[in-house]
Structure 1
Amino acid sequence: MKILVTGAAGFIGFYTSKVLLTNGHYVVGLDNINDYYDVNLKYDRLEELGINQDQASNFNNLCKSEKNEQFSFVRMNVENREDLPKLFETEKFDIVCNLAAQAGVRYSLENPESYVDSNLVGFLNILECCRNFNIKHLVYASSSSVYGLNKEIPFSTDDNVDHPISLYAATKKSNELMAHTYSHLFNIPTTGLRFFTVYGPWGRPDMAMFLFTDAIINGKPIKVFNYGKMERDFTYIDDIVEGVVRILEGSSKERIEKNELYKVYNIGNNNSVKLLEFIKEIEINLEMEAQKNMLPIQPGDVERTWANVDDLINDYNYKPNTSISHGVKAFVDWYKTYYK
């Protein structure tokens, strides 16, 4: 298939592109390479896919990979209402994997406009292109943050998610509602994926795994919010991408025949890990002890996440299962190599 992967210079988009290429698909990666975090990490991910920095620096210019003839890249904003439809018209994609988004719960308190631009305007543009250019299936990133103040554990896609507590979460919930509308009105199969705390090599510098490792190695204190009384369903990157790719490669014809055009899945490890246990694993792998600065809970944070993945098991015979010990070791090994 020919697949558009938006957010291709991002953490999940980079890995998803790699696996799709390994599986023989044609992939066009799209990313605006914004400076929300270190752009060098994004350029280095693209370098792994055969796109050099000079190629990636020009907006709206489709360039070919030097390593894989089945990969191309374009630097573009998904909110670009003029150039995005031109890309769809020219490239004639079969399916779309929309992983582009302004990420981060806490940053949404500081810069709310960027979430509206990318996550709402940009997502609407993606939906419009899917409608107008005969896309067979749209798979898009949602988030575990949509569960907000939900008290039921583990979190199920059957739960009410009308109480998000960050603008980021609200935009992701909005994406699900927008996708439902387009599925209903225009018979487009759409699948939302609620990711649970993704970590691993090449991960985002604003996430706990990266922040903690970086601080401990450099002898700085780490910020431990809610005085350590936090639990997260930490999910290793390979497990996330395995779920994404299985759904991308699944038949949308069956969905249309069953009239199941709109679906949402949790992709998580189906296990809640205490934050202090997570930190302990990092300490073990670094052979260093963390200086812990215990702080109150941050606005927008939830105390606990835990994914019910029964639907993923039933529909795709898949359940993420990478242990924290394996995942943390893989990240720390990568970090030491990447930062020498």
Structure 2
Amino acid sequence: MKRKELQSHENRPEKATRIKAGRIQRANYKWIYLFLLPTIVIFAMFYLMPIAQVFVTSFTKWDGFNAPKFNGLTNYINLFTNSSFLIALKNLLWWCVIALTLHVGFGTLVAFVLYQRPHGWKFTRTVFMIPNVISAAAWAMIYKFIFNNDFGILNSVIRVFNPNFNVQWFYKSPWAFWAVTFTWLFYAVIVTLVVLGDLMNIPKELNEAALIDGATGWQLIRYIQLPLCRASIGTSVIASLTSRIAMYEQIALTTSGGPGDDTMSLPIILVKGIMDYRYGYANAVGVVMFIIGLIVLGVVNKLFRMDEASY
């Protein structure tokens, strides 16, 4: 009994210290919550409430002026039976596949090349970044001239080898789809910068240890550098795929979704719904885009194990 009493007496200061630390921590939490309150209010006002309104009004008939009238699933039925919407989903699927492989792959490849610091790598990095500071709308207009059949650079070069070549890239199927794709395909500087930053954060000891163990350059990339860049590549995939979901300027300023519906996208349908004063229908498209974005986020997080530590 005396021994237990002695141990209990010795543990009292430690217990008191822990209780005091817990009280201080709870007091600090109050200040943390207080400083977070403005951010929470702004998020609720400018993000959460508009998103909730989009979901609610997607089940209504609303012209943007008069009060919305509940019409159940009518907007969604009209949307999913619209041939343009189905083509837009198919185009989005193809653009996501291209973005996942070629777009992110090209940006990652450039990052690994720059990481080796070849001669002139700083100049290359700067030049590679310049086109990406130009807005998507400006690039769309530039490409409209590049792909012009009469005086465009592309067709002028092709006619050197084939004088009879005549293609209106943005106005003829199936070339319009690929013309729109090329307006964003190789502008992957964000991917390059994100992956390059992750590469530069890899401890030199890991690379040196692998080289001492006899690893080749390819083995170093495959078994050490690529796995450790998993999070940055996953982040790049998310950014690239969500950009394809929201892609509007490149299409609106070049093909407007044509010829026919060959380059139709969900944002084009959404904007057309607004222009026709069908806000409920347009918000239904917005809900579909939102859900697709959440699915992309969840799948990429799972595939690239974004929640797990790299080291």
TM-score (norm 1): 0.24
Larger RCO, structures 1/2 (Cα 8 Å, 6+ apart): 2
Q: Rg bigger for which structure? A: 2
Name the structure where helix makes up a greater proportion of residues. Answer: 2
TM-score (norm 2): 0.25
